[in-house]
Amino acid sequence: MDQNKIGKFIATCRKEQGMTQAVLAERLGISDRAVSKWETGKSLPDSGIMLELCRLLKINVNELLSGERIMAESYDKRAEENLLAMKREVEEKNRQMLRTEYWISFPTVIAGLVMAFVASYIEMPVWLRIVLIVFVFVMIFTVAFIAVGIEQKAGYYECQHCHHRYVPTYWQTNLAMHMGRTRYMKCPECGKRSWQKKVLTKED
């Protein structure tokens, strides 16, 4: 999706309805800075307010995501294109979140191993050795909890029995046996347990 094109379209529709950025923002319950970011192409409206935004601008969601008015004969085609574009954006966002998980996990593990080595083999007072070991455990466990939270929110897990895709709770994800990003969990759809793989989208 072309954010600049969508932004200019929002600005045009807003002006057609005789609204300032401040008035539109007030009616949506957001800041006028958010509207300004949309119109300059720096961000897109949140999905939670898209329908209300479209109602105020007297357009539909497909026109909003296309950044232009859509003729009736090409409506279905544009709708499909917009759905595919949104799916690609969701996939990329989830992919970036999972990359972030790696970037915070691996350096922490390496740093922890180095500090554990220092605490074990370098001469130092006993109290300092204890403090260093405790710090290593606290650091690794803290980052592990954060990493699991990122993994839980990014994408879905797919049941190997019924192929239902869902987002488990944080504690279901955290407490499940796992190998990498594959976790042994109970499917909320069929009720069976299986090794469920992480997937990026709700549907294939």
E-only strand ranges, the chain = 156-158, 165-166, 177-179, 182-186, 193-199
Tokens at residue 138, please?
Answer: 């606290």
Flag whether 81 is in a domain: no
Residue 93, pLDDT above cutoff 90: no
pLDDT at res. 200: 83
Instruction: Say which residue the tokens 């995501």 belong to.
Output: 65
User: Are residues 159 and 147 located together in one domain of the fold?
Assistant: no
Question: pTM of this prediction?
Answer: 0.56
Mean pLDDT value across residues 117-121: 86
* pLDDT for the residue 74: 66
Mean pLDDT of the chain: 88
Residue 153: pLDDT over 90: no
CA-nearest of 190, 185, 202 to 148 is 185
Query: What pLDDT score does 203 carry?
Result: 66
- The reply to whether 79 falls in a domain is no
Give the tokens for residue 168: 């488990």
| 16 domain residue, yes or no | yes
User: Residue 143: inside a domain, yes or no?
Assistant: yes
d(CA 162, CA 76): 31
Range(s) of the domain holding residue 169? 155-204
* Same-domain status, 116 and 61: no
Please indicate, yes or no, whether residues 14 and 66 belong to a single structural domain of this protein: yes
Residue 80, in any domain of the structure: no
Q: Over the stretch 30-45, which tens digit does the pLDDT of each residue have? A: 988 999 999 999 888 8
Q: Which amino acid is at 203?
A: E
Same-domain pairing of 114 and 160: no
21: nearest Cα among 7, 11, 6, 29: 11
Position 110 scores a pLDDT of 92
Report the residue count for the chain: 204
CA angle 68, 73, 76 (to 5 degrees): 75
The tens digit of pLDDT for each residue in 55-72 reads 999 998 888 888 888 776
Pairing of strands 165-166, 177-179: unpaired
Report pLDDT digits (tens) over 155-198. Answer: 899 999 999 999 999 999 988 998 888 999 999 999 999 999 99
If one counts the domains in the chain, the total is: 3
- CATH number of the domain where residue 13 is located: 1.10.260.40
